[in-house]
Amino acid sequence: MPIRNESDRWGAVPQLFHWLIVLLILGQGALGLVMVELPKRPSVFAIYNLHKSIGLTILALAVLRLLWRVFDRRPKPLPMPRWQHLGAEIMHWALYVLLFAVPLSGWLFDSATGLRPLFWWGVLRMPSLTGGAAPHLRDLFEELHEMLFWALIALAVLHAAAAIKHHVIDRDDTLRRMLPWGRRASRKSNP
């Protein structure tokens, strides 16, 4: 499979970004939901640090993915009604916004607590985005982080449902173009 996009399918790099981010978000969501239920004690801080490092990794991958998208041509759109093209475009950009907003809101939340320095994977010290403890903003950023996470999950479910609809009902190549093993359909597909 070519590294760069082709006219009729996504290349290896965009596919890698897509599926790696999907897996990280699924794991991150499960980890986040479990960790908030755990008692707050020193042994649990390792789980919080893991959550923060995964979040920063998702942010870094989102930056790289967006840069790749800017510099690599996209595959040609498949034939479909204009409203579906517009909906897909809005959905993709909303997902990009949330891929940045969720980790950034988590970083802001962590910064506002002022508890300890944030280290990405225990190595790279990350700056505080609030300039130190900001207790008056802590709850706001915590709530924002949670709301943005659920918005990301809702949009991701809609995105997946649309891809499945295109695959099962429309029988086009929308899903196949983003799968590493996907082959072109012989049914109604690219002209």
Residue 140 domain flag: yes
Rounded Cα distance, 89 and 11, in Å: 19
Query: Average pLDDT, stretch 4-13?
Result: 87
Flag whether pLDDT at 190 surpasses 70: no
Flag whether pLDDT at 55 surpasses 90: yes
> Residue 129 is part of which domain span?
12-178
Q: What is the structure's pLDDT at 151?
A: 98
Closest alpha carbon to 107 in 53, 63, 66: 53
Rounded Cα distance, 20 and 14, in Å: 10
Give the count of domains, the chain: 1
For residue range 29-46, list pLDDT tens digits in order. Answer: 999 999 999 998 888 889
Give kind and range of the element (H or E) at residue 120.
strand 118-120
Please give the share of the chain, as a percent, with pLDDT higher than 90: 68
Query: Average pLDDT, stretch 17-21?
Result: 96
What's phi and psi for 61, nearest 5 deg?
-65, -35
Flag whether pLDDT at 105 surpasses 90: yes
Q: Is the pTM of this model over 0.95?
A: no
Residue 115 domain flag: yes
User: Over the chain, what is the mean pLDDT?
Assistant: 91
| Residue 77 pLDDT level (bands cut at 50, 70, 90) | confident
Rounded Cα distance, 104 and 36, in Å: 19
Residue 25 domain flag: yes
Residue 7 domain flag: no
Query: Average pLDDT, stretch 169-182?
Result: 84
Residue 191 domain flag: no
Residue 66 domain flag: yes
Closest alpha carbon to 58 in 90, 100, 86: 100
Residue 45: which CATH number? 1.20.950.20
Residue 4 domain flag: no
Residue 102 domain flag: yes
For residue range 121-151, list pLDDT tens digits in order. Answer: 999 999 999 988 899 999 999 999 999 999 9
Query: Average pLDDT, stretch 142-167?
Result: 96
Strand partners, 124: 120
